[in-house]
Amino acid sequence: MKKMNRVGLMLMSCILVTGLAACGGGNNAANTNGENAPANAPANTPANAPADEPAANATTDNKPAEDNAAAEETIKKELAGRTIKISAWWDGTPKPDSDSSIARIAKTKEVEAKYGVKIEYVNVPFDQYQAKFTTTVLAGQPFADIVRLQYDWALVASLKDQLLKLNDYTNIDDSKLFGKAYPLKGEDYGFDGKNPINDQGVFYNRDLFKKLGLTDPQEIFDQGNWTWDTFEDLAKKATQDTNNDGKPDTYGWSGWNFETAQFLIASNGSAVSDDVEGKEMISDPKTIEALDFLNKMYNVDHVVKVKKGDVNNWEERVTFGDGDVAMTYAFGWLNGEYKGKKIDYGYVPFPKGPQATDYVNPVTGGGHAWFIPKGVKNPDLVMKIYEEINDIPTKEEYPGQEWLEQIVNTPKDIELIQGMAGKVRFMNFTAYPGFPFADFVGEVTKNKVPAATAAEKFKQPAQAAMDKILKAAQ
């Protein structure tokens, strides 16, 4: 049974008397004097009372507002003028540069006045963030009340009892703005937006596809045939030596081998590690099949452009921006790299592998969410305030409209991204120092070692890296 937090206890009498709408945090319906009530519903009057006569319980007409005010005053005293700190490795302070930001600024001021608090956004450089979190939590004085953590950092923190579980301070299922983040070893600690956008997949160069006379991947997807086989066929056809100099002038694929491997593994129904079972997954047959396919792309079909000359170089993740590559993996945050170079790119989900039943994208330890550290006082009230400052009106016609229209170019692209909601495979292998996944991928793609042989070489070091973290917490 989920425990009721103190916010719920404070508002219980109000809810029992008037229903939740009159006690709501964001809209504050109790203070509107009926202005937002439906036109055919008299405010604060029992349904059967004559309109020209006082209701039988007219003396309690102001009770909802009184109860709400009393609850707010209790919260105000509890927080005692405190500064609520929200931290990430960027500046979260809203700037008056959009309608939503202007609304958030106004709402923040309203909430600050309502509860007598201050809201402060703490920007800590990425390379200092994890250390600052750890040292301040260990000292019993977390540097912020709500923190943004990568999942790999958060897993280690959860094992060391440095994070509060969600149900310690909120019933996240009741939130209209936030939902559960990915679980850490089967437990719920973090939260994030209610409708996260799964914008990973494949970007493809529309102009190049037309120039080469290739079938648009979206057409293949709509036919239900978007698989590794059809993907491979397109990549091979797109790799062409058009001037007969013995070198390709266009390529089927580009990307960092380390990241391409994760997409292939997820799309074949596997993962790199299993945190719940505490087991490495590089020796899983589905993973081996994915790495064999990756090896074929690089060393058999030769469809991958390696601009820097080193398949292990992370900078290959943006080689698609050269304009001579047909496809790459999609990360929404990379859109500026391609739009700035005037590339007309489309979106399609990553193709299905032979062992997959649906399209899926990887989410790794580098992904991140919001958490409340152990040692934060009044975490239930902190969460309530955070939700209230984010409860602002929106002009979006659908969730994520502003972001989606920024990262892709057509309604069809947006439709396909929306269709990927919830289709993810979470793998948190970067939480384990020394986990040799990059070495495994390099062994296959750079040294051209068969995936099964490479897996045999690295499975024990991988398991040892996991055991060092997971068993130490037992």
pLDDT in tens, 416-462: 999 999 899 999 999 999 999 999 999 999 999 999 999 999 999 99
Place of tokens 């593994």: 265
Residue 347 near residue 197 (C-beta atoms within 8 A): no
pLDDT tier at 70, thresholds 50, 70, 90: confident
Q: State residue 6's pLDDT score.
A: 38
Containing 444, the helix (H) or strand (E) segment is helix 437-445
Q: What is the DSSP code string of 53-118?
A: S--TTGGGTTHHHHHHHHHHHHHHHHHTTPEEEEEESS-----SSSHHHHHHHHHHHHHHHHHT-E
- For position 390, what pLDDT does the model report? 95
Residue, of 122 and 341, whose pLDDT is higher: 122
Cβ count within 10 A of residue 359: 20
In whole angstroms, what is the distance from residue 186 CA to residue 158 CA?
Answer: 11
Q: Which secondary-structure segment (H or E) carries 201?
A: strand 201-205
Residue type, 113: A
- What is the CATH class of 201-365+402-473? alpha beta
Q: Tell whether the model's pLDDT for residue 355 goes beyond 60.
A: yes
Distance between CA atoms of residues 52 and 415, nearest Å = 53
Q: How many CA atoms lie within 13 A of 443 on its CB side?
A: 19
The single residue listed with the structure tokens 């958060």 is: 154
Confidence category of residue 340, pLDDT binned at 50, 70, 90:
confident
pLDDT at 64: 61
Evaluate if residue 407 carries a pLDDT over 60: yes
Dump pLDDT digits (tens) for 199-231. Answer: 999 999 999 999 999 999 999 999 999 999 999
Residue 270 has pLDDT above 80, yes or no: yes
Q: Where are the alpha helices (DSSP H) in 391-436?
A: 401-407, 411-418
Cα–Cα distance for residue pair 202/28, rounded to 1 Å: 44
Q: Shortest CA distance to 103 belongs to which of 95, 113, 91?
A: 95
pLDDT above 50: residue 43: no
191 in Cβ contact with 172 (< 8 Å): yes
- pLDDT tens digits, residue range 24-34? 333 332 232 22
Average pLDDT over residues 315-336: 92
Q: Would the pLDDT of 391 be above 80?
A: yes
Rounded to the nearest 10 degrees, what angle do helices 63-79 and 99-115 cross at?
A: 90
- Is the pTM for the entire model greater than 0.85? no
Tokens at 406, concatenated:
């920024």
Element (H, E) at 241: none
- Does 81-194+366-395 match 201-365+402-473 in CATH topology? yes
Question: Which helix or strand (DSSP H or E) is residue 361 part of?
Answer: strand 361-364
Each domain of the chain, given as residue ranges in start order, spans 1-50+61-79, 81-194+366-395, 201-365+402-473
Looking at domain 81-194+366-395, does it have CATH number 3.40.190.10? yes
**Average pLDDT score over the chain:** 86
